Amino acid sequence: MMNEKNYLPRALALMLCTLVICLGMYYLPDHLLGYPVKKVDLLSDLREKPAEMTLDSLRRQLEAEALADTLEVDSVALRDSVRRAMGLDSAVLALRDSLYRVVSLSYGADSTGTHIEDYSLGHIGLQRFFAALGARDTLGRPVRVAFLGDSFIEGDILVADFRSALQEAFGGRGVGFVPVTSVAAQYRPTIEQHASGWRTWSMMTDHEHDYTLSGMLFAPEKDYATLSLKNTDRYPELAEVSTFKVYYQHNRGTQLRWSENGSPDTLQVWLEPADTVTAFGRDGAFTSLDLRFTHTDSTFLALGVALEDDKGVVVDNYSLRGNSGQILHRLDSVQCRALNACRTYDLVVLQYGLNVANDSVLQYGWYGRKMEESIRRIRACFPTADVLLMGVSDRSRQLNGKFETMPSVLALLHAQRQTARRTGITFWNTFGAMGGENSMVQYVENNWASKDYTHLGFPGGKRLAEILFDALMKEKEFYDEAVREGY
């Protein structure tokens, strides 16, 4: 009788491999491709678990820290800087401070998101933006807003309704800047786009290229590539625009061929050679574009296309999935200044935090310091723009079968507000605007947010956009009154 083959060693080896894999899954990162990852912990019953910090206890701790916090600010130097920049003397600055305390809640710290919190000296944090709105008819260009963020605003969630509100109030049409392609291209309802033949680099993973606000660069894979764009009627301001602009960063001898509005006629031009951000544009009446880039070589790097009017307000969505905002300190100053020269911004909005909030972390001073570096870089690269920092939105965790606000959200919100104070910029409490603690649960129940209890849907984005717009308009009323009264 033949001996039966012994499979026991193989079975044991398979079991050992399975055990190693399961143990290794405990060390997975907290996020993969912008999505939260739940760790597998086979030893969870053996580990000593830290005591859970309740929202109430964390709130008391943060309030105590806020009272104890002192900012090292050279007020004399800052006031001199403000006087030189704005022509305001000390008496005027003091008067503006006292007036601002009247119109803001709790001396600027707003728990409801109703007001913009202005931590600039003399409360001039949005003066450039409001001045541009006031001079929009004679500005010679549109008032531009750059809205930077992560997957929270992906697909034009929140930004689309914020853009529509501004354009309805102050004029302007069009979706603004559109990258050559993105992970959200297929479900972004404010523009239909299709790109082929492109290679993509992202600031998230690439350290070799020089990046501007979009954080992405595109190069043809061969000697040609295509891009098609079609306006949508999701919002009345999007159906038709009067200009299109192609933005590229490097070029030696690329030819652009394009057709407009479905016409069979083709136009062509040799794009200007460039080593910094450059724009090619045309005026007309555009509902769709078919672009073909030919005679390209290894030097051609594209950014995207802008569809807009040459007046009113334009809001560009620069979302980048997985971005925490910390990488903004790597923005290339030369390329960004070139971008600002041909696409001048009056306001930069920063929406970050979802990729930072971690249930096991309750101290975010390190993140605040990193964001200070990012804000300083943005100010240096775009000196004509004001900066508005949005606080993190509500995010829920499941505890004992029930969803509730992650305590880390409150800790992160505190760090973000301190960042705004230390850098002297404006701040908006997104968490408070949503309704505060456990508001994400209500958003999910209303079908305003997805069931990951983290990301908004378009209805939730519309709700937040309305509150943000109203907060900005309340702040503008204060500025307009101050200008009329001469202080």
Domain ranges of the chain: 55-485
Give the model's pLDDT for residue 16: 81
Give the model's pLDDT for residue 361: 85
Which H or E run contains 85?
Answer: helix 75-86
pLDDT higher at 40 or 419: 419
User: Which among 425, 412, 417, 421 has a CA at the least distance from the CA of 378?
Assistant: 425
Taking the C-alpha atoms of residue 408 and residue 427, their distance in angstroms, rounded to an integer, is 19
CA-angle at 470, arms to 466 and 473, nearest 5°? 140
Judged against a pLDDT cut of 80, whether residue 42 lies above it is answered with: no
> What one-character DSSP code corresponds to residue 157?
T
**Average pLDDT rounded to a whole number, residues 94-114:** 66
Give the model's pLDDT for residue 100: 59
pTM (predicted TM-score): 0.83
Sign of the torsion formed by the C-alpha atoms of 362, 445, 114 and 456: positive
**In Å, what is the CA distance from 239 to each residue of 106, 234, 235, 317, 418?**
43, 8, 7, 18, 41
**Average pLDDT rounded to a whole number, residues 33-53:** 53
**Order of strands, edge to edge, in the sheet holding 191-196?**
191-196, 224-231, 288-294, 255-260, 267-270
pLDDT digits (tens, 9 = 90+) for 187-228: 899 999 999 999 999 999 999 999 999 999 999 998 889 999
Taking the C-alpha atoms of residue 158 and residue 319, their distance in angstroms, rounded to an integer, is 11
Give the model's pLDDT for residue 394: 94
User: Which among 341, 350, 420, 421 has a CA at the least distance from the CA of 383?
Assistant: 341
Give the model's pLDDT for residue 107: 52
Judged against a pLDDT cut of 90, whether residue 3 lies above it is answered with: no
Left (φ > 0), alpha (ψ -120 to 50) or beta: where does 197 sit? Answer: left
- The answer to whether 219 and 302 are in contact (CB under 8 A) is yes
Give the model's pLDDT for residue 165: 98
Judged against a pLDDT cut of 90, whether residue 9 lies above it is answered with: no
- The answer to whether 372 and 425 are in contact (CB under 8 A) is no
Give the model's pLDDT for residue 104: 54
- The answer to whether 211 and 377 are in contact (CB under 8 A) is no
Judged against a pLDDT cut of 70, whether residue 185 lies above it is answered with: yes
In percent, the amount of the chain with pLDDT more than 90 equals 67
Confidence grade of residue 48 (pLDDT, cut at 50, 70, 90) = very low
pLDDT higher at 61 or 138: 138
Judged against a pLDDT cut of 50, whether residue 67 lies above it is answered with: no
Give the model's pLDDT for residue 323: 93
User: Which among 469, 475, 456 has a CA at the least distance from the CA of 151?
Assistant: 456
Confidence grade of residue 8 (pLDDT, cut at 50, 70, 90) = confident
- The answer to whether 477 and 469 are in contact (CB under 8 A) is no
Confidence grade of residue 49 (pLDDT, cut at 50, 70, 90) = very low
Give the model's pLDDT for residue 43: 59
Can you tell me which residue has the tokens 């009067």?
242
pLDDT higher at 484 or 279: 279
CATH topology of domain 55-485: Rossmann fold (3.40.50)
Taking the C-alpha atoms of residue 300 and residue 134, their distance in angstroms, rounded to an integer, is 39
- The answer to whether 247 and 306 are in contact (CB under 8 A) is yes
- Strand-pair category, 191-196 with 224-231: antiparallel
pLDDT higher at 216 or 401: 216
Confidence grade of residue 480 (pLDDT, cut at 50, 70, 90) = confident
Q: For the chain, how far is it from start to end, CA to CA, in angstroms?
A: 105
**Average pLDDT rounded to a whole number, residues 321-333:** 95
**Average pLDDT rounded to a whole number, residues 457-467:** 97
Give the model's pLDDT for residue 74: 42
